[in-house]
Each structure stands twice: as C-alpha cells, then as structure tokens.
Chains A and B, each alone.
Chain A
Amino acid sequence: MSELFVVGISWRTAPVAVREKLAFREEELEDTLRAITRELPVAEALLVSTCNRVEVYGVARPDQDATAAVRAFLAGRRGLALASVAEHIYDHRGDGAIRHVFRVASALDSLVVGEAQILGQLKDAYAVAGAAGTSGPTLGRCLERAFGAAKRVRTETAIARGAANVSTVAVQLAHHVFGDLRGKSVLVVGAGKMSRLAARHLYTSGADRIVVTNRSLAKAEALADEIEGVARPWEDLEALLAASDVVISSTGAREAILTRPLFKKVMKARKRKPMVVVDIAVPRDADPEIGELDGVYLYDIDALERIVSTNLSEREKAAEHATKIVEHEVGQFEQWLRTQGVVPTIRALRDKLTAIGDAEIGKARDALARKDMTAAQQVELLQRTVQLVINKVLHTPTTALRAADPDAAAHMAAVVCELFDVTPVEGEGRDSASALAAGEVPPIIPMHPAPEEKSAP
C-alpha cells in the first residue's frame, strides 16, 4: 500500500548555514519534482523550499520505502555528501507525515507560531507540483485538507492575532492612529538596521513618502536608496518632524534628540495633528515626556518588545487549541485515507455484479423477443432472472464458505453477516457460521410475491 512521507530539514533541526545549502530556487522546483518521481520510488511529490524549511512531501510507490532514497537525492541534488547533512534531515511516514503537513500548514511548526506566510508558500508549492504533474490524488487531498485545517486554526483561535515583531507593531500602531497610511509621510531619524525594517514595512503598508535624515548625509543617502526614500540634511530635523506623521528613530546619540521643547514647537507647527513616534534606539532618542503631549504617541523599544512578547505568549496559548483542531482534521483525513485502500475492491465487486446482471438481463430480453408472453409468464421470467442473478452472485462466496475449515468459515460468515446486514436463522442447535458453511444461506434479497398473487382474492 502507498504511504505518505515527509523528508526535509527545518529551523528546528538545521542552522541557516545548512538550510541555505539545501534550499532550492523557484525555477529549479519543477525539474526537481519531476526527477523525484522519475528516479525514485515516489508516486506523488511536492517540494517546499523557504528560508525556514526545505521539505519533500510525497507518496511512496506501493510497498516501497522512499524516505532513504529522498534523503540521498536531496543531498546529491545540491552536491553534498549525505553524511554531511544527515544529522539535520528528518523524515516522517504515515500518520506522522500527515500530522507534520497539517502542523506546517497551520503554522504550528513555524519559527513564529501563527505566522501567515507559510500557508501561502505551501499553496505556491502545491501549484508548482500541479504544474510539474507530480501532485496526485492522495497528496492533493492531504494538502487541501491541511489548508482547510489551517483556515480553521486562523479563524477559530487567536494564533495569528497580535503583531509578532517590532516593525509590525509600528505598522499596527500607525493603523490605529491613521487608519489608511496612504498620504502619510514617514521620517527615519538615524540609519540603524531596525529602522530600515520598520520603514520598509510602513512603506509596503501604504505610506506615501519616506524621508531619511542622519548626522552623516552620506549614510542617510545610502539608506534612502535602499528603501526608496529621500535623504535630507540633519539641520532640517525640526521642519522634517513637522511634516511627518510617523517617526522612526534609531540614532546612536547618547542623549535624547527628540526633546519636549522641540516637540512642542513641532506639534504647534503641525496644528496638533497626531504623530506616531517609534523610538528603537538604545539609549533612547526620545524624551519620554514627549509622549504626554496631546497627539503624540510614543513607543520605545521596551514598549514594543513587551507587546511582541505578550502577543507571542498569547499565540503559544492559542497553539494548544490549534493543536486540537489539527488533530481532529488529521483524524478525518486518515479515515478518508483508510477508505482509499478498499476502493479498488469495491470497484471490482461492482464491475463483477454488473456483468452478472447485464448477462441475465440480456438473456431475459432475448426470451421476451422470441415469443409473445402473457403477463404471468413475464412475471415468471422476471422471477427466474432475479433468482439466477442471486445464485450467480452467491455462488462463489457460498462455495468458499463451504470449502473453508470451520474456524475460517465462522469468521467469513461473521463478515458476510456484517457486510450484508443479515441475521442468520438459528436452528437445531447449530450456530450461524456452521449453518452458513453448510450452504443453508437465507435469502439475502427477499422475494416479493408476484403481482397476480398479491392481487388474488
């Protein structure tokens, strides 16, 4: 029987130095997937390669273990000796693999629990597998159920609520004050790395204009180029502040540069329009007193990190509820998967019975065509046809029951009773199994009386 498997590395098992060696570029994915299904005992495959994980999700060919081959393939494909990365690679099979896929989709296995990107990345990977022709019914169904589980987790739990990093908090804060950021201006004071991230995040969230100012104009220009902003000289600070709605400050100054007297003038100049000040410098750039001014919303690094920390701990709490949802969805999928094992049997049984029915109906039709029949004769023909179908259907199982040894016959009889929902007639001290084994099979399809008999007085 085919088995789902997962082989890969993630932030849990490998540092970035290893992950980047095994990572695949987007344009390599389709060829790699085709190679996996062509060269390895893998029937269906999907490859997800992000900054935090490189994983192959697949379905092995019937009765074959594909994980060892996929491990070797991943290392070989990147030109690495398997031994050099073996300790970082993990694999899961069967239920473990299904659970892993569902947890990844629901961002329960992410570095930042509840982050939104992984679901989109998995959907992209699924689309690539579809384009490469390596996604099949089992993997497809698994991914779709995993996406459904992820949606439930996001809507029914608090796992994705609250900003999970400092720059997201800054954006959230700006949204609370201004709503739409279109038409808003962002001033970056200083050229620190954190302010670059926050400014970029604000820009992608809709802010119109980013201005950078720094004591060194050259550094301001370099940062402005990087984040599509405009550099302005340090001497213009007061005017720049008055024209800005969001200020991100991260200079290396030893003393506060955003002081209360400066901000009183600034707020007067901007007619007390609200202003968000995000101070991510240590030591702080902003005098805490400016946060008391009407219209000024000041958040320093401590406040930002406290919010992030609270949100992350809330997410961790929500993860418990999310895990229950995932387990339920995994159970549902496993049940579906189990039924897939008997589908060929059901199909074969249906085909055989249809063939028997078709053959007998054909004979009955020929008989009807050969001579005129009275209504009573037609009913008799119908009864005979049905009886013949029943006999043919039951011939093989009845023969098998009779031929089986008593223990096996009893088991088979019990299965027959369960499958056909029949209760054997107990008689003369014999149990049902032996009665069945002896061929005394009660009619499974009850014979209805002929219409004439029914209407007879």
Chain B
Amino acid sequence: MAMSSESNTQSKAFAARDITNIALIVALIEVCKSGLLFLPNIELTSFWIIMFMLFYGRKTYLVIPAFILVEGAMYGFGLWWIMYLYTWPLLGLLAWIFRRIDSWLFWCVLSCVFGLSFGFLCSFPYFFMGLSSGGIKHAFSVQIAWWVAGIPWDIAHGIGNFVLMLILYKPVSKVMRKLYKKDTVTTEVKE
C-alpha cells in the first residue's frame, strides 16, 4: 500500500479551529513529555512533530514555536532553550521535506537519526561560549567535550525514537489519516 499526503488542498487561511488544534497538539506533546520524564532521553516530541507535519501539514510550524515557548515558560529560558529554537524546527523542516515518503521504516530511521544527532546539534551554543573565552581551537574543544559527554544519552535517545516510531507509526497514522482527511489533507491511497 502506498500513500501520498498532499497539502495543496489545505486551507491557507488561519482559522479559529487552527488555534484550537494547535493548543491541543501542544497540550498533547507536553503531557507525553511530562509522562515520560522518568525515562531519561525517551520522548514523544519527535514522534508527534513528525506525525503532525505529515498529517496536519504546514500549520504544524505554528505548533513548534508554541511548544518551545511553553517549555521556556515551564522550565525557564536557559541555554537549552536556545538549542530548542533550532533543533525542533529542523526536525519539522526535515519531516516537511520528506513528507511524501510513506515508509514506516524511513520515519523510524529519520526519528532515530535525529535522536542520535540531538547532542551534536545542541552543542553549537557551547562553541560560541568557548569562542567568547578563547580562540576557535578552544571553542571547538569546548563544543566537542560537551557533545562527547552526552553521547551515551544520544544513543538512548536515538534507540528510543526508533522504537517509539516502530510501535506507534502505523496505529497513529491510521487515526490521523481519518482525523485530518476532511479538512486538512487530501490522502490518496493506492492498493
């Protein structure tokens, strides 16, 4: 079975319904995040961003900043918050670029690779911190040292993302296909 999600029929206007949708999606992400806090580096945020980007479309790009703002308001606007400003939008962008690929395995791998790269992506602010207290060599050493220290957690993050996508992609995509078919996405199913 092959599926392609087209967003060309999506309503471009931003309706009150979208505000409600976005609020609910952010709430869903936050609840999942809080529920999984006891498992280090296991999260459903990547999964939901990918799924909503696939089925809810471009408007998910309003979900991501809303989620980042809520995170900052809840946990404080620290250095990690700067990292969130580009890591989650990057995942959204990747999901958008590859949105036509209906391969469960592809999304497992993309989610996994994102988890494995998360520490490296987050290490860039440390480069600039190092740069402010020394030269480029020092900046690189600060960035690399920070990244290396977190590698075991990145591996856990990547494996967790793979397993969660493996388990949830098919049932959740089935529900989302029905949910967003009418008002947001034209879904073409070929047997």
Are A and B co-members of a single complex? no
Which residues of B line the A interface, CB within 8 A?
none
Which residues of A line the B interface, CB within 8 A?
none
